[in-house]
Structure formats: structure tokens, C-alpha cells
Chain A
Amino acid sequence: MSAQPSSATPPSTLERVRTERRRRRVRRTVTVLVLVVLIAAGFYASLAIGHRVYSAGEIWRVVRGQQVPGASFTVGTLRLPRAVLAVLVGCCFGLGGVTFQTMLRNPLASPDIIGISAGASAAAVVAIVLLGLSGPAVSVIAILAGLAVALAIYLLSYRKGVAGTRLILVGIGVAAMLDSVTSYVLSRAAQWDLQEAMRWLTGSLNGAAWGDVRPVLVALLVGGPLLLAASRDLTVSQLGDDSAAALGVRVQRLRLVVVIAAVGLVAFATAATGPIAFVAFLAGPIAARIVGPGASLLVPSALVGALLVVVSDLVGQWAIGTRFPVGVVTGVLGAPYLIYLVVRTQRSGGSL
């Protein structure tokens, strides 16, 4: 059991360390590639499938900007922005979710469970229904509300330090409060439009247009690289604040940057599609299962999020008799997983 005093490293250990690391990298690369292919397939299916199915040739011509009778409108104006938005918000929710889960070291601490999505959604509803705003103003108000909620939850759960479980429970309470605000404002809207209400309660891609896509794209282009730059620090911060600091991570600064970026992503996506239920919550843990523990989960989670939204939207639109908004599908899919997580929650709270 005692350590072998040896000045020269036996090659076997070095060799094993090296192969093991290469194996992990290959697995990660393959996973990312497979996810990209699957998303591409889902994206293509969302463009092709509908009341009228279009051929690959027709779709290609529409995407290249040529006029194709019928297809130009159906594919170019209706289906294309919807599919693009699905991919983008999926990435945003996936990235935002996994960032929170990694940082707080708890899979339950995703923005859609601790009330940040609910805050952005309530703010968006208030902005649209009560203040009569539209466009970028709504996104701005949503992101401000998201940040305010994040700060409020943090402060409310602060008592000699922040414990993950306390933060989650406080978040659930805040979420309940904000959801009731959303319900109230919606019930006071001019007419009770169930489809529109669904968007703000569970998330929906209905009526997606290029105008919705742009702000989300900008958010992803700004927030994404910011998070990726912090990804190594984030991975190290899984070892606990003290260990991370000992390894040279400035924990407070990391937390600040990362929270702003993640909340920004989630809030912009929510302002566009509403809080698509459970995508932020599911993407990280699913990615962790596929890639294996330890590696940085940011990119895989973003891809899993995108895939979830694209596929769920396809299922909601065409697999069942009625057309359901995407949030209903992810809500039904996500809840069993949440229950599974609850059942296997350990005293330590568990990590991804």
C-alpha cells in the first residue's frame, strides 16, 4: 500500500494516462459529430415535412433564394425561420442550463427550475400585455428580469454561504410566485388566446419569424464564446470553491461572468419562444451521460438542447393527431426524468 519511491516514472502508468485521455477525446469528438448529424437530419425534416412534403431539391432552391411556387412561402417564410429558431433557442437553453448546473454543482439547479426562465417569461408577458411593447424592448426587459431573479434567488438563499439545496427550494418558491404573475397578466389580456398563453407558460415555436431569430442569434454569438472561454475554469470549479481557487480560478469573477452570460442566453431565448419546458434542465445531464463525466459539457449540451427542441417540435407538430406547442412535448418528456433525478438524489446533492 505504501507509495513506491521511484524517481523515473514507469512507462506503463504514463502510457495508460495517455491512452485513457485519447480515448476520452475520441469519444467526445464522435459524440459531437453524431449530434451535429442528427440535428442536421432533424432540421431537414422540419423543412420537408408538413401538410405538403417538399423534395430536397425544392428545399435547396428555396434556401438558395430562388423563387419556387408554393415552397418559397411554406418553406422559406414559415418553416425555415421556425427550424432555425428551434436550433438556436435549443443551443441557448442547453448552454444556459448546463452552465448553471455545473456552477452550482447540482443538476436540479437549472434556470427553468429555479425560476429564472419564469422571471424572464413573466417580464416578457408584462411588457407585451401591460406595456404594449414589442421586438427588442421585450428581450431587454426579459434579460433584466432574468438577472434580477438570479440575483434575488442568490441573495435570498444566502445564509452563511449559499447551499445548493436551499437555493433550489428558494428558486421553486420564486418560480411559483412568478408563474402566478404570468397567469394573472395573461388572464387580463384582451382575449384569452390559449395558443399565445401557451407560449408564455410552456413555450412554443408557433408563428416564428426572422424577426424572432435575430436577437437570439446575437445573444448566442455573444454569450456562447464567453462561456466557452470560461469552460475550463468551469470544469475545475466542479471540485468545490476551495479546490478551484487553489488551482488558480478566480471563483467570484468566474461566477459573475458566467451567470450574466447564461442568464442572457436563457432570457433572450425565452423572450423569443417562451420558456420551453425542461430543455435547459435536460440538456446537461443527457450530454453528461453520452460524453461521459469529467469533460467539458458546454458544446455537447448546446447540441443536445438543439436536438431536443427540433425533435420535440417535429413530434408536437406531426406525430400526434393535434398540433401541440413544443413546450408541451418537452414538458411531458422532461418530468419523468426530473422524477428519476429526485429519486436518486443523494445526501450530497449529486453532480451532473
Chain B
Amino acid sequence: MTASSTLAPLRRGRRTRLLWLLGCLALLAALALASVALGSRQVGLEDILSPLRGMPEGFDQAAVAKRMPRTVLALVGGAGLGISGCIMQGVTRNPLADPGILGVNTGATLAVVIAMAVLGLGNGSGDARTMVWVAIAGAGATAVGVYVIGSLGQGGATPLKLALAGAATSAALGSLVTAVVLPRGDIAESARSWQIGGVGGATWATLHQIWPFLLVGLVLALVTARGLDSLALGDEVAAGLGEHVLATRLLAALGAVLLCGAVTAACGPIGFVGLVVPHACRLLVGVGHRPLMVFSGVVGACLLLASDVLGRLIARPEELDVGIVTALLGAPFFIAIVRRQKVKAL
């Protein structure tokens, strides 16, 4: 008797969660449609569907064909960043962890710029896949470096120390990026696209280069989700619950780095999505990592798509890069999180 009455709210919770998920998916579909339709040239539903029916192509259809990969990249990228942020916050037990705050984006940029300047890698199709590897390696190395710096000294990796370590690393790596690029006028233009994140230049080829990385990252994320739930209780309790603390942490971190590294390789640095999304989702579905990851993926995709569409609309006929839009939207959110935290916990 008592058991069933205690269970009832749990079941109800699951049902609400499902409703929320359906709602978010509907929003995502609407945004995807808007992303294909809206821009400097407005397109009707007819034009979007016509290529699918094999109709002849006009300007509108050409615009749609160009927006398709862009929409998919924003969707995939947003999902990747959302999940990656969710993992990073879980692994570090730190509410401010995010690829942008931790300086991971700058790390990827530096690695790519060095590869361009020293190894002479360019934009050839064969080089593109290598570049993804390079970006991921840079992202990974930076993530580990920042975390190690943040956890040295008294009190371990507090949010304040982690944020500062990330800011310091970003600044240092940013200066190094400049130092590498400045003497090389020939790579300045391609390096520039690495400083502001955007999905504008997306092609199907871009997506083709990154999907294996995203897939592996996603699998790692889902496999370690349960483990992250245990880690949330502290290393000792997690070990007491039979968790392999180190292994879980390493695998999860690898997944996070693969996801955000691949997205950064395709889009350039996009900040704050990984920070904002998991927090928003926690309000919807609580702290369990499995539902949280699913939601973070969907909501992240929504956020990046919405930011991209917004960037196209407010600066017409030009476009505002999505990296700038997310920073403008995300920074106030970051501040709100900081304000909510108790000072001692910072």
C-alpha cells in the first residue's frame, strides 16, 4: 500500500518528463523548419518540399539547398555541445563547467592554427579529417590542462578557480594563436574563421567529416551516464556503490571532449551552449544524467538553431555569427547562475 502510493509520484514524474520531451521535439522541428525557411531570402513551404519531390530548381530552392546542411549542422552541433556540457558539469561536479569557459575552444583553435602554419595543412579534402583530429587533440589537451590547474592548491576545483583557470588559459592560448598567425599573412584569413564560431559555411562534406566522432562521443556519454549519477555523490560514495571512479571519469571526459572537439572543428568556438543547456534541463527533469543528457541534446539543438535563425534575422541582410549570438544570450544566464550560488560554494 505504502509502496504504491510512494511510487505514484515517481511514475507521474516520468510521464511529465515524456510530455516535456515531446514538447521540446516539436519545438525543434518548428525551429528546423524556420531555419530552412528564414534568412535574407524568405522561402515558402512549397519551395522547401519541392526538391524532395524532384521539381526543377529556382533561386529559392538553391537557398534551401544551402540552408539544409547548415540547419543539420546547427542541430547536431547544438546537441553535441549540450551533451558535452552536461558531462563536463557531471565529471567536474562544477556548475560552471562549459567548453567555452574552460578554454577548450581556444585550445582547439591553437592546435588547428599550429597545424596550418607548421604542418602546412590546408583546406584540401584529405586534410579536413586530419584537422578534426587536430582540433579534438587540442581540445582534449586544454580540457585536461585547465582542470589540473583548477584543482591544484587548496580546496580542489572550485567553480571560481576553474573559471579563472579557463580564462587564463584562454588568454594565454589566444595570445599564442596571434603569435602564430601574425607572421603568416597567408593563413590569417582561414584562421579568422576559427576566432568566431558560426555554421554559415556548412556543407554536407563538413558533416561527413565529423559524424564518426560525434557518434563515438554520444555512445560514451550514454554508457557513462549512470556512473555520473554515482559520481555526483562524491568519489568515496561512488566507489562504495561499486563504481570504477577513475575509469568512468576518463571515459565520460573523453566523450565530452570528442563531442565538443568535433563540433568546434566544424563550427569554430561556440560558447555558453554547453553551460546554459544542462542548467535549463535540470529545471525540467531533475538531476539524473540519462534523461538529462537526452534533454540536453534536444534543448541544445533548439538553442543553437534558434540562435542561428535569430542571427540571420536581426542583422539582415548580413548575418550575425551564431557564436556571437550564443555569447550574448548565454552570458546573462551565466551571471544568473553565479548569483544563485552561495558565496561559499564559489
Note whether A and B form a binding pair.
yes
Contact A342 B174 (CB under 8 A): no
Contact B327 A202 (CB under 8 A): no
B188 within 8 A of A: yes
Specify which chain A residues have a CB less than 8 angstroms from the CB of B96 in the assembled complex. Answer: 169
A192: shortest Cβ distance to chain B, in Å? 6
B266 within 8 A of A: no
A198 CA to B178 CA, complexed, in Å: 8
Specify which chain A residues have a CB less than 8 angstroms from the CB of B271 in the assembled complex. Answer: 176, 180
Of the candidates A180, A321, A322, A338, the one whose C-beta lies within 8 Å of that of B171 is: A338
Q: Which residue of A lies closest to B150 (CB)?
A: A342
A330: shortest Cβ distance to chain B, in Å? 8
Contact B339 A173 (CB under 8 A): no
Instruction: Give the one of A113, A187, A344 with max B CB within 10 A.
Output: A187
B172 within 8 A of A: yes
B196: shortest Cβ distance to chain A, in Å? 5
Of the candidates A172, A328, A331, A346, the one whose C-beta lies within 8 Å of that of B163 is: A172
Interface string of A140-175 (1 = CB under 8 A from B): 000000000000000011010001011011101110
A192 CA to B167 CA, complexed, in Å: 25
Those of A66-107 within 8 Å (CB) of chain B: none
Instruction: Give the one of A169, A174, A321, A327 with max B CB within 10 A.
Output: A169
A351 within 8 A of B: no
A265: shortest Cβ distance to chain B, in Å? 21
Interface string of A308-326 (1 = CB under 8 A from B): 0000000000000110110
Q: Which residue of B lies closest to A183 (CB)?
A: B196
A176: shortest Cβ distance to chain B, in Å? 5
Of the candidates A173, A278, A331, A342, the one whose C-beta lies within 8 Å of that of B161 is: A342
A256 within 8 A of B: no
Instruction: Give the one of A172, A188, A198 with max B CB within 10 A.
Output: A172
A108 CA to B164 CA, complexed, in Å: 9
Contact A335 B183 (CB under 8 A): no
Whether A342 touches B149, Cβ cut-off 8 Å, given contacts A159-B339, A184-B196, is yes
Contact B164 A166 (CB under 8 A): no
Contact A331 B174 (CB under 8 A): yes
Contact A324 B178 (CB under 8 A): yes
B55 within 8 A of A: no
Specify which chain A residues have a CB less than 8 angstroms from the CB of B331 in the assembled complex. Answer: 173-174, 176-177
Specify which chain B residues have a CB less than 8 angstroms from the CB of A172 in the assembled complex. Answer: 101, 163-164, 167
Contact A336 B172 (CB under 8 A): yes
Of the candidates A179, A188, A334, the one whose C-beta lies within 8 Å of that of B318 is: A188
Specify which chain A residues have a CB less than 8 angstroms from the CB of B339 in the assembled complex. Answer: 156-157, 159, 166, 170
Contact A322 B183 (CB under 8 A): yes
Contact B171 A335 (CB under 8 A): yes
Specify which chain A residues have a CB less than 8 angstroms from the CB of B308 in the assembled complex. Answer: none
A23 within 8 A of B: no
Contact B168 A338 (CB under 8 A): yes
B153 within 8 A of A: yes
Of the candidates A168, A201, A324, A339, the one whose C-beta lies within 8 Å of that of B160 is: A168
Whether A173 touches B334, Cβ cut-off 8 Å, given contacts A180-B328, A322-B183, A331-B172, is yes
B100 within 8 A of A: yes
B346 within 8 A of A: yes
A55 within 8 A of B: no
A169 CA to B153 CA, complexed, in Å: 19
B334: shortest Cβ distance to chain A, in Å? 4
Whether A345 touches B338, Cβ cut-off 8 Å, given contacts A187-B321, A198-B178, A202-B174, is no
B291: shortest Cβ distance to chain A, in Å? 28
A217 CA to B178 CA, complexed, in Å: 30
A24 CA to B317 CA, complexed, in Å: 64
A26 within 8 A of B: no
Those of A182-216 within 8 Å (CB) of chain B: 183-184, 187-188, 192, 194, 198, 201-202
Specify which chain A residues have a CB less than 8 angstroms from the CB of B195 in the assembled complex. Answer: 183
Q: Which B residues have a C-beta under 8 Å from some C-beta of A?
A: 96, 100-101, 149-150, 152-155, 159-161, 163-165, 167-169, 171-172, 174-176, 178-179, 181-183, 188-189, 192, 195-196, 271-272, 318, 320-321, 323-324, 327-328, 331-332, 334-335, 338-339, 341, 343, 346
Q: Which A residues have a C-beta under 8 Å from some C-beta of B?
A: 108, 113, 156-157, 159, 163, 165-166, 168-170, 172-174, 176-177, 179-181, 183-184, 187-188, 192, 194, 198, 201-202, 277-278, 321-322, 324-325, 327-329, 331-332, 334-336, 338-339, 341-347
